[in-house]
Structure 1
Amino acid sequence: MPTPDRTSLPAIVAAGQHILESDGLDAVTMAAVAERVGVRPPSLYKRVRNRDELIRLIAEAAVTELGAALAQADPGGDPRERLRAIVTALREFARARTAAYLLVFTPLTTEPPSRELLETSSAPLFDAVAEIVDHDNVLEAARTFTAWATGFIAMELNGSFHLGGDVDTAFAYGVERLAAAITDR
C-alpha cells in the first residue's frame, strides 16, 4: 500500500518562505523545510527536485505576491499618481517582506522565475509608464523607474541614508522628478 502524501507543494513553498523571512536564504534547506512541514527530508523530493528548484519556487511565489500588491495599489487614472502608488507598494513590500524582496531583486544562482510571470507581475508599472512615454520607450522607462526604486530601497534597507533629512520626503521627491523626467507626452 502506498504511503499517503503528508504535504503539498504550496505547504512546502510556504514553509520555505517562512524560513527565508525569519532566518535568511542560507537557512532555506530541504531539511529545514521538511522539519517545518512535518515530514522527513526524502519526502520533499516527491514534490521538489532539489534546493535550487525550491528557491526558484519561493522566488516565483514572491514575484506573484509582489505583482498582486502592485496591481492592488494601482489606483488607475492619472499616470503619475499610478506610478507613485505602484512604486510605494514596491517599497512597502520591501519593508514588510525584506528577504523575499531581496530574493526577487538579487540575481539568483538558480533558474529565475519565468519571463511570463515577471511580465504579469510588472504589468501595472508597464501600463502606467505606457501612458506617459512613447511606445518605443516603455521598457526603458519601466527599467529606469525600477532601477531607481530598487536602488533607493536598497539604500533605505541598508540604513545608508546618513545625511539627515526625511527619507519619505526624498522618496516622494524622487518619484515625482523621475516621472517628470521620463514623460514624453
Structure 2
Amino acid sequence: MPTPAKTSTIQLASIARGLVEAQGPDALTMGALAQSAGIKPPSLYKHFADRAAILKLVEIEILNELEAYLRRETKGGTPKARLTAMAGAYRRFGRTAPNRYKAIYSGNAFNDPEIRAACLFSAQPLFEELKAAGIAEARMLPLSRTLVAFLHGFVLMEIGNAFNLGGSIEEAFDSSLETILREIA
C-alpha cells in the first residue's frame, strides 16, 4: 500500500509561489521546493513532471492576478485616462513584487497553449480599453504590443535599477506613455 501524500499539489504550488516571490524564479528548484515542503525531491514527481511544470502554474496564477489587478485599478472618465491608469497599475504591479513580476512572460507562451491563454487573458483589459477608445481592429494588436513591450521593458529596467543616467524616471514614463497613446483621445 502506497504511503499517503504529505502535501498536495495545491500546497506545493503555494510553496513554489512563496519561493519565487521571496527570491525570484531562479530560486525555484526541485531541491528548494522539496526542502521547503519538508519532503524528499523524488516525491515532487508525483505532482509535477519537472521544474517547468511548477513554474508554469506559478506564471499562470500571476498572469491571472495581473488581469484582476488591471481591471480593479483602471479608472477614469476617458479612454486615455483609463489607459493611463492601467499603465500605472501595470507598473505598480511589477514594482510592488519584483520577484513575482519576473516570473511572467517566461517565453514559454510560444510553446505552451495554457501559458499563451493566460497571457491573452491578462491582456483582455487592455484590448477592451483599446476597443472602447475606438482603435480600429487592425491597429489594436500592434498598439497593444507596443504598449506591453514598453511597460514590460520599463518595469524590468526599473526593478533592476537600470535607470541610472539621471533625469526623472516619472517624466520618462509619462512622456513615453503619452507618445504611445497619442492617437487616443
TM-score by length of structure 2 reads: 0.86
2:122 aligned partner, one-letter code: S
1:23 aligned partner, one-letter code: Q
Change in Cα spacing, 1:61 to 1:81, as seen in structure 2 (3 Å) is same
Unaligned runs of 5+ in 2: none
Q: CA deviation at 1:86?
A: 1.4
1: CA distance between counterparts of 2:67 and 2:177? 19
2: CA distance between counterparts of 1:101 and 1:91? 10
Which residue is 2:27 aligned to? 27
Which residue is 1:17 aligned to? 17
Matched, 1:62 2:62: yes
Which residue is 1:164 aligned to? 166
Residues 60, 117 of structure 1: 8 Å contact kept:
yes
2: CA distance between counterparts of 1:139 and 1:109? 16
For 1:6-60, what per-residue CA distance to the aligned partner results, in whole angstroms no more than 9, with x for missing partners?
2222221221122123233332111211221222222222211111211211211
Range that drifts further, 33-42 or 47-56: 33-42
1: CA distance between counterparts of 2:136 and 2:165? 37
Which residue is 2:40 aligned to? 40
Which residue is 1:87 aligned to? 87
- 2:102 partner SS: helix
2:50 aligned partner, one-letter code: N
1: CA distance between counterparts of 2:116 and 2:123? 10
For 1:93-140, what per-residue CA distance to the aligned partner results, in whole angstroms no more than 9, with x for missing partners?
111221232221343499544332222111111111222311221111
Q: Work out the number of aligned pairs and report it.
A: 183
Which residue is 1:114 aligned to? 115
Residues 93, 101 of structure 1: 8 Å contact kept:
yes
TM-score by length of structure 1 reads: 0.86
Residues 62, 104 of structure 1: 8 Å contact kept:
yes
Residues 20, 27 of structure 2: 8 Å contact kept:
yes
Which residue is 2:3 aligned to? 3
- 2:46 partner SS: coil
Identity, % of aligned positions: 32
Unaligned runs of 5+ in 1: none
2: CA distance between counterparts of 1:64 and 1:49? 22
Out of 139, 147, 152, the residue aligned to residue 137 of structure 1 is: 139
Residues 59, 103 of structure 2: 8 Å contact kept:
yes
Tell me the C-alpha RMSD between the 2 structures: 2.3
1: CA distance between counterparts of 2:109 and 2:80? 35
Change in Cα spacing, 1:114 to 1:107, as seen in structure 2 (3 Å) is closer
Residues 67, 120 of structure 1: 8 Å contact kept:
yes
2:140 aligned partner, one-letter code: V
Residues 56, 111 of structure 1: 8 Å contact kept:
no
